[in-house]
Structure 1
């Protein structure tokens, strides 16, 4: 009954770290043709060191790119020379980072859901859940990271029935390290679900009828590095792929059409696919854990910044047989989101609605189990 769905929640969370981005700007460009899309995707990263916040995809879809002050004039000249208009979307990235950082992420004994938290703070909070809900919650060790950190998920279900006979639902966040809103959303949902158990009938029924697995921070090394090294870091922190460039994109490293469209073989690229499928110990650990839990048959993966609810496939624009059913869920979900705060999300197939991306967690879970 449950189908694999990938959710990409389009919000940007930012805070302070060691690397600074003074006077870095984010340019918004709207390509008007496939030729302009190709120029942005293929030529701009070759000529300049740029950081895509919203990658080139299709004509008419905005592209957001961070540019350093040293490259800004030449990038703008290149865009103007190609007849492409642009605007400054973020005037100073470092000021945005500084304005969003709260040093008081824990106030007294209360866990503040309104600010971003470090990995140790999230881990300590998860331990309090076991103490507060001993009949519902247990912590499970999914594996160890490249740098030796524990990858911890929260497993919980309600009363009645054998938990292993209930459908299992897996949610994870923080696969891309800098997408802080993703772990924050998972933390908030987890806290809200447990607090409302036995109070709200609908929530109680959801917890009673499913076995839940929530992994707030997938890429624990990368997430930790965004707090003390580089706020814009995206990848893992493995060092065996290159002497000069660190890390692999963990959402291009899964063994489902690995190394095809929408990935890079360049170890310095943010979407580097890795030397082989499942080269990243974090990715292999999560995939092995999901396979070992025989009742897991639903998967939700949270990202940030594009306000999209997306379903497989990512490696191809061909649609799976049950895409209409999956997209109907996406339509219902985006309508429900809009009804709460008026926030507009689009829904559709990954490769079509944003860009091709092979070796993703969404494609692997769907292909492996469905």
Structure 2
């Protein structure tokens, strides 16, 4: 029996497929255009999995680039970097060890846990349970289905009252960003746990509704648990093309496919054949369009980099209320830091990280949602997409402070 339990835990801790043994993650300092061209050259010769920025095309001078390299290519990559006199460091010398260490939570719960990474099946069951256990505060609806036929659930969280303004929050756009869905679950937990005892949350739930979409890219998320932990895109397929998936955060009709997005179906930043080509992005966009009169804020949760971003990402232009958004982001970052001292950078997407067209935050803003923010959660690259479970609680606690800060401001500045 003990042996069987040990085998079960090994299966859970090793999503099947690649094992990443000997794979490495590099951080390379890029100073000028010549070096950017060299990284492009390297990316064309070897299969590099770009973590930050999302693709080679987004590299800027005087920046750092994080990418994952397969075990068999690490020696060649090191030689290349050294011959061309790059400053670099190895963030992960063996990715398999970091991957295994991700499951370091001491929670022994067999079912859903707020301090563990939960599989989609577990999250789906949780959406049903949290709604049935808290009928006065939570209701669940299906807003569409994924390419592979899974239900897209939205939890409506708030005290029942006619014509309430609302905040829309989504998680799990990019499949490998596991800390993101963990936060959406944590948010719902805190809402139901502290309603009636904590004054700020009680006021927010009395005055506002929260639409929480725990995982947008469910097919991709399932794939990271079963086949390939580093998968990013959706899992849609198209006739005549062997490459799978679209980057859902390049698939919205906001400067669609202009900057920082690729028209190549094999790219991690593929914008898709058309805006809203993906069933998931179309369902989200339809829901927001249908509820536009009540939705006053849009929050989308990603990882990693510790950033609070506001529009625009598809252009260097600034939104009309950019001073207000900047002040709000600054205050949220300051509030977040009060708990564990975690430093967040804030600003408009294009200048703060890089131009990227087709993002949901820009799209929501252009629909008339005046308060639109993207969070990039922990960390700054030491673990990257493999943030250990032992950091879920702290990450979620500090992010809650920032979210409550933003939403409390919005409640007092309704439009």
Please report the TM-score for the alignment, with normalisation by the length of structure 1.
Answer: 0.90
Q: How many pairs were matched up? A: 352
* 2: CA distance, partners of 1:275 / 1:254: 11
Q: Separation in 2 of the partners of 1:363 and 1:143?
A: 22
- Paired with 1:266 and 1:102, the residues of 2 have a C-alpha distance of 37
Take 1:38 and 1:201, find their aligned partners in 2: how far apart are those partners? Answer: 55
> Which stretches in structure 1 are left out of the alignment for 5+ residues?
1-13
Aligned runs of 1:230-241 on 2, under 5 Å?
230-240=228-238
- Which aligned pairs between 1:135-284 and structure 2 lie closer than 5 A? 135-159=136-160, 161-162=161-162, 165-240=163-238, 243-284=241-282
Q: 1:154 to 1:94 in 2, by over 3 A?
A: same
For 1:15 and 1:330, locate their aligned partners in 2 and report how far apart those are by CA, in whole Å. Answer: 36
Matches of 2:189 and 2:356, distance apart in 1: 32
Identify, as 1 or 2, the structure richer in helix. Answer: 2
> Which position in structure 2 is the counterpart of 1:54?
52
Say whether the 8 Å CA contact 1:22–1:94 is kept in structure 2: yes
Partner SS for 1:340:
helix
Quickly say closer, same or farther: Cα 1:84–1:250, change in 2 above 3 A: same
**TM-superposed deviation, 1:220:** 0.6
Distance of 2:110 and 2:234 partners within structure 1: 32
Q: Deviations over 1:272-304 (max 9, x none)?
A: 111111111110011001111131121000111
Choose which of 96, 99, 102 in structure 2 pairs with 1:100: 102
**For 1:309, what is the secondary structure of its paired residue?**
strand
The equivalent of 1:88 in structure 2 is: 90
Q: CA RMSD in A?
A: 1.9
Aligned to 1:5: none
Q: Does the residue aligned with 2:228 lie in a helix, a strand or coil?
A: coil
Q: Any idea what the Cα deviations from partners look like across 1:127-165, whole Å, max 9, x if unmatched?
A: 111222111111011100000000001002125x41xx2
Match of 1:303, SS state, is strand
Bigger relative CO (Cα 8 Å, ≥ 6 apart) = 1
Normalising by structure 2, we get a TM-score of 0.81
TM superposition shift of 1:244:
1.6
Is the 1:241–1:267 contact (alpha carbons within 8 Å) kept by the matching residues of 2? no
Match of 1:7 in 2: none
CA distance in 2, matches of 1:195, 1:166: 21
Q: 1:211 to 1:22 in 2, by over 3 A?
A: same
Q: Residues 245 and 281 from structure 1, CA distance in 2 versus in 1: closer, same or farther, beyond 3 angstroms?
A: same
CA distance in 1, matches of 2:64, 2:138: 42
Ranges in structure 2 where 5+ consecutive residues have no aligned partner: 1-11, 370-415
The corresponding residue for 2:35 is 36
- On the 8 A contact 2:20/2:71 being kept in 1, the answer is no
Does the CA contact (< 8 Å) of 1:25 and 1:90 recur in 2?
Answer: yes
Secondary structure, aligned partner of 2:303 = coil
Q: Cα distance, 1:108 vs. partner?
A: 5.7
